[in-house]
């Protein structure tokens, strides 16, 4: 086996990735098609956002990610501190001041000769940083999102725990097709009892008689959801976690969503009903504007030192091999 090493220019601007101990440009990130993370959706993940050159609530995202891994009995090699450093380095390498930063823990598959049981399969970390993506466009957010209530019910919590961020998107994907076919931007899913759960990638809030309300179960315990509670306390807006029936949602004064890839996103239409004046309501708008202004000021921020990885971003030593191996 022979190898030659040469220094080549590497373009990290489209994103950077980390897989099981190694960094690489995002375009080169791959996993085997035999992995259970791919074949069985045996994976948990989390997403942190970088805006204004800083992570938002990075440690909260890592803590939730660790809770999810623990619930799924996944123990990768990386500690929380090491994972934190990896995510920061990905953003440094990419040079992105606005980035979508994902962390996945994927279960592999048992080694040949061992029983095909998850207890025999190791778990490892995949992470990547890519240019920021919005769940809804700026135009949709300005006019208010147009949503509908899906016929597709949410997967029961007894089957898939929604507090563990997961790839089981069959119900959410079906709801998005419903919305597309009916000319809406998105859809809200109900549980088997007819109560609100969440939407595809976001928590749901309703303003009922001046109180901001969100469901107690059937949904991810969102980090931006937590931020909404904090903002309500700061602004003197009453808030509560309690069930929201379909009827209550349809009669709500305002509706809005929250997610990492969008922040606080008001709704102006629900099915055939136009809320307010067909624009975001006053409480939703106040929360949204306050959220982004506080982000700009450094609220819950972990600033990224982009000078620390300039050399790694510009060039790297790569091994290019003309290998002949004998097995």
On whether the CB atoms of residues 68 and 165 are closer than 8 A, the answer is yes
Q: What is the mean pLDDT of the chain?
A: 92
Which tokens sit at 168?
């089981």
Q: Which fold has domain 9-133?
A: D-amino Acid Aminotransferase; Chain A, domain 1 (3.30.470)
pTM above 0.85, yes or no: yes
Classify 138-160+168-300 by CATH class. Answer: alpha beta
On whether the CB atoms of residues 94 and 101 are closer than 8 A, the answer is no
> 96-105: per-residue pLDDT in tens?
999 999 999 9
On whether the CB atoms of residues 19 and 29 are closer than 8 A, the answer is yes
- Provide CB contacts within 8 A for 182, sequence distance 6+: 148
Where b means 16+ CB within 10 Å and e means fewer, 209-225 reads eeebbbbeebbbebbbb
Could you identify the residue written with the tokens 């791919």?
A: 38
Report domain extents, the chain: 9-133, 138-160+168-300
pLDDT at 308 (0 to 100): 77
On whether the CB atoms of residues 94 and 195 are closer than 8 A, the answer is no
Pairing type for strands 198-199 and 54-56 reads unpaired
> 248-306: per-residue pLDDT in tens?
999 999 999 999 999 999 999 999 999 999 999 999 999 999 999 999 999 999 999 99
Distance (Å) of CA 41 to CA 19, 63, 151, 279: 17, 21, 24, 38
> 147-169: per-residue pLDDT in tens?
999 999 999 999 999 999 999 99
* Cα separation, 99 vs 263, whole angstroms: 14
One-character DSSP codes across 90-139: HHHHHT-SSEEEEEEEEE--PPTTS-S-GGGS-EEEEEEEEE---SS-HH
Percent of the chain scoring above 70 in pLDDT: 92
For residue 106, what are the β-bridge partners? 43, 124
pLDDT at 150 (0 to 100): 98
Higher-confidence residue of 257 and 312: namely 257
Q: What is the mean pLDDT of residues 206-231?
A: 98
């Amino acid at each position: 086996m022979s190898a030659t090493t040469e220094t080549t220019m590497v373009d990290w601007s489209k994103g950077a990735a980390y897989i099981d101990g190694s960094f690489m440009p995002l375009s080169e990130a791959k996993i085997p098609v035999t992995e259970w993370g791919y074949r069985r959706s045996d994976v948990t993940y989390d997403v942190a956002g970088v805006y204004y050159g800083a992570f938002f609530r990075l440690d909260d995202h890592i803590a939730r990610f660790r809770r999810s891994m623990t619930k799924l009995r996944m123990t990768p090699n990386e500690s929380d501190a090491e994972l934190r450093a990896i995510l920061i380095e990905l953003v440094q390498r990419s040079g992105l001041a606005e980035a979508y930063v994902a962390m996945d823990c994927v279960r592999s598959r048992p080694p040949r000769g061992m029983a095909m049981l998850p207890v025999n399969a190791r778990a490892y970390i995949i992470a990547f940083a890519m240019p920021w993506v919005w769940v809804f466009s700026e135009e949709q957010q300005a006019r208010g999102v147009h949503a509908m209530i899906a016929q597709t019910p949410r997967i029961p919590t007894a089957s898939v725990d929604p507090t563990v961020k997961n790839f089981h998107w069959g119900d959410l994907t079906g709801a998005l097709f419903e919305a597309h076919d009916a000319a809406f931007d998105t859809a809200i899913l109900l549980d088997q009892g007819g109560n609100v759960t969440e939407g595809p990638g976001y928590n749901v809030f309703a303003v009922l008689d001046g109180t901001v309300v969100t469901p107690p179960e059937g949904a991810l315990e969102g980090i931006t959801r937590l931020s909404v509670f904090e903002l309500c306390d700061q602004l003197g807006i009453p808030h509560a976690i309690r069930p929201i029936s379909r009827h209550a949602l349809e009669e709500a004064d305002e509706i809005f969503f929250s997610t990492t890839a969008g922040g606080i996103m008001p709704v102006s239409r629900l099915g055939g009903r136009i809320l307010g004046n067909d624009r975001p309501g006053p409480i939703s708008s106040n929360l949204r504007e306050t959220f982004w202004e506080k982000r700009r000021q450094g609220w819950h921020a972990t600033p990224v030192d982009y000078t620390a990885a300039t050399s790694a971003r510009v060039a790297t030593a790569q091994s290019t091999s003309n290998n002949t191996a004998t097995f």
